[in-house]
Amino acid sequence: MTVTIVGSQLGDEGKGALVDLWGGDADVVVRYQGGDNAGHTVVEGGEEYALSLVPSGAVRGKVGVLGNGCVVNPRTLFEELGTLRERGLDPDVRVARRAHVIMPYHRRLDGIEEEAKADSDSGVEVGTTGRGIGPTYEDKAGRRGVRVGDLLDPDVLRDRLEYAVPQKRALIEDVYGLEAGEECDVDALHEEYAEFGRRLREEGMTVNCSAFLHERRAAGDNVMFEGAQGTLIDVDHGSYPYVTSSNPTAGGAATGTGVGPTVTGRGEVVGVVKAYLSRVGEGPMPTELDGDEREEALASDIREKGGEFGTVTGRPRRIGWLDVPMLRHAARVNGYTGLAVNHLDVLAGLEELRVGHAYELDGEERLSLPATTERWAECEPVLREFEPWPEVDWGAVADDGYDALPAAARDYLEYLEEQVDAPVHAIGVGPDREQTVVRTNPWA
């Protein structure tokens, strides 16, 4: 049995909280794409863990795997493992030998290209997390990347670096007219990264991901796939070019781990939805609350109450009403079998509550997204009013179950189920594992 958890919007929907909640019944939790651009929060009994690379199942002591579709920065990985160990956890993390390695020159180039885009007035600056994600996936597709398996063989690692690094130096110096630094010192890189390879080997951390998962499943284990980012920042199905460079959508769980699509397709695919919308970085957001002072004040209230500041970069997140055309797109692209709707508590007590039910484009109403980002940016939201629900004792609601939710909140959820054509399995009413109304266990 597998359960795949996917972000339905623009990231930070509360995937970490759901992986933690349902990870209790999983044996293995696998990340299938992305790298340390992710920031997944797990709160257990008031203790907060912010995980960037280590799968969120670590908090419950599950085996974590970084699949072949991930990009792995070993500096971040070992630092994060160290921090978790200091906090009393004992994470068991395996890394696919086919996963690509984020090298220091990738991070440097991420920053350089973002600056070049900003200076160019081309409007294509993405507002990346600066973690080197895009340049690493470029090298993967360009067949010049360094893979985790290459770190295990110092000779292979040297060959890879001796080819790639002079190109990066030329790019930095000859194309961008900047000075290359330590990130282009082959000997220093070789020494540090061969040492990472030695550590990975010594600690038995590398795996053939596909074979490893096959064996675990054959032994009867439950496997959970933890998506990072969200559908609208997927490189294929998102708001290109304001996207990340991987496939957070459900298909990525198969290609990013070496498990067949028939396996993930027989399991549950749960879309995590934030009850409103947030975005870090550039790109259109038709329901953004930024039209006038009143809207900005509302956005600021939601931002403060929901703690909407980037887990990785600390940037304030842009805020908007729930965008339903976006969710119809996400449900279709991912083939959802269910939804988990978070942050219902954050919307409590508002004076007004709306959702973007549809878009208006060229005088016509549309229920889903146009395929180009420029056309999406031209969409005006067709808003629908909902009755706001009051502030209640959310802890008591989580204990008592669905019927204890305020009636107006249930109306909101039932509207969503109808529009997206998927049942709501769980409702987040606070950040803690306990602050969740569970209706259906996807493993059952």
**CA-to-CA dists, residue 199 to 72, 218, 397, angstroms:** 14, 29, 47
String marking each residue 211-230 x if it binds ligand IMO according to CB under 6 A: -----------------xxx
127 binds ligand IMO (CB under 6 A): yes
Choose among ligand GDP, ligand IMO, Mg ion, none what residue 17 binds, the Cβ cut-off being 5 to 8 Å by kind: ligand GDP
Nearest alpha-carbon partner for 164 in 206, 101, 72: 101
Out of 12, 80, 139, 288, which residue is the one contacting ligand GDP (CB under 6 A)?
Answer: 12
Q: Quick one: 69 or 104, whose CB is closer to ligand GDP?
A: 69
Helix (H, G, I), strand (E, B) or coil at 210: helix
Q: Quick one: 229 or 264, whose CB is closer to ligand IMO?
A: 229
52 binds ligand GDP (CB under 6 A): no
Kindly state the tokens that stand for 383: 């808003």
Helix (H, G, I), strand (E, B) or coil at 262: helix
Out of 9, 239, 257, 311, which residue is the one contacting Mg ion (CB under 5 A)?
Answer: 311
Catalytic site residue 214? no
258 binds ligand GDP (CB under 6 A): no
Q: How long a stretch of residues is the chain?
A: 444
40 binds ligand GDP (CB under 6 A): yes
Q: Interface with ligand GDP by CB under 6 A: which range of 6-14, 122-130, 359-367, 369-377?
A: 6-14
Q: Interface with ligand GDP by CB under 6 A: which range of 60-68, 295-303, 417-425, 429-437?
A: 429-437
317 binds ligand GDP (CB under 6 A): no
Q: How far is the CB of 280 from ligand IMO (least distance, A)?
A: 4
429 binds ligand GDP (CB under 6 A): yes
Q: Interface with ligand IMO by CB under 6 A: which range of 33-41, 77-85, 340-348, 407-415?
A: 33-41
Half-sphere exposure (CA, 13 Å, Cβ side) for 419?
22
**CA-to-CA dists, residue 76 to 43, 139, 350, angstroms:** 21, 20, 39
Out of 3, 12, 135, 431, which residue is the one contacting Mg ion (CB under 5 A)?
Answer: 12
**CA-to-CA dists, residue 4 to 55, 72, 278, angstroms:** 13, 21, 22
The site that binds ligand GDP (CB under 6 A) totals a number of residues, namely 23
133 binds ligand IMO (CB under 6 A): yes
Kindly state the tokens that stand for 252: 């990525």
Residue/partner pairs of 219-223 with CB below 8 Å, 24 or more apart: 221/27, 221/28, 222/1, 222/2, 222/3, 222/25, 222/26, 222/27, 222/28, 222/443, 223/1, 223/2, 223/26, 223/27, 223/28, 223/29, 223/30, 223/259
Q: Quick one: 60 or 107, whose CB is closer to ligand IMO?
A: 107
Interacting positions 235-294 with ligand IMO (CB under 6 A): 244-245, 280-281
Q: Quick one: 17 or 58, whose CB is closer to ligand GDP?
A: 17
Catalytic residue among 20, 36, 40, 234: 40
Helix (H, G, I), strand (E, B) or coil at 315: coil
3-state secondary structure 321-351: CEEHHHHHHHHHHHCCCEEEEECCHHHCCCC
Residue 102 DSSP one-character state: P
Q: How far is the CB of 326 from Mg ion (least distance, A)?
A: 17
Catalytic site residue 12? yes
Distance separating alpha carbons of residues 152 and 396, to the nearest angstrom:
52
Q: Quick one: 133 or 319, whose CB is closer to ligand IMO?
A: 133
Q: How far is the CB of 116 from ligand GDP (least distance, A)?
A: 28
What are phi and psi for residue 155, nearest 5 degrees? -70, -45
Contact present, 55 and 96 (Cβ < 8 Å):
no
String marking each residue 319-358 x if it binds ligand GDP according to CB under 6 A: -----------------------xx-xx------------
Nearest alpha-carbon partner for 420 in 326, 328, 333: 328
15 binds ligand GDP (CB under 6 A): yes
Q: How many CB atoms lie within 10 A of CB 423?
A: 13
Q: Quick one: 15 or 303, whose CB is closer to ligand GDP?
A: 15
Helix (H, G, I), strand (E, B) or coil at 195: helix
Q: Quick one: 206 or 311, whose CB is closer to ligand GDP?
A: 311
Interacting positions 40-79 with Mg ion (CB under 5 A): none
Q: Which residues of 7-46 are buried (b: 16+ CB within 10 A; e: fewer)?
A: bbbbbbbbbbbbbbbbbebbbbbbbbbbbbbbbbbbbeee
Q: Quick one: 104 or 306, whose CB is closer to ligand GDP?
A: 306
Q: How far is the CB of 280 from ligand GDP (least distance, A)?
A: 9
Binding site for ligand IMO (CB under 6 A): 7, 11-12, 37-40, 126-129, 131, 133-134, 228-230, 233, 244-245, 280-281, 311
Binding site for ligand GDP (CB under 6 A): 7, 11-17, 39-41, 43, 306-307, 311, 342-343, 345-346, 428-431
Give catalytic residues, as residue numbers.
12, 40
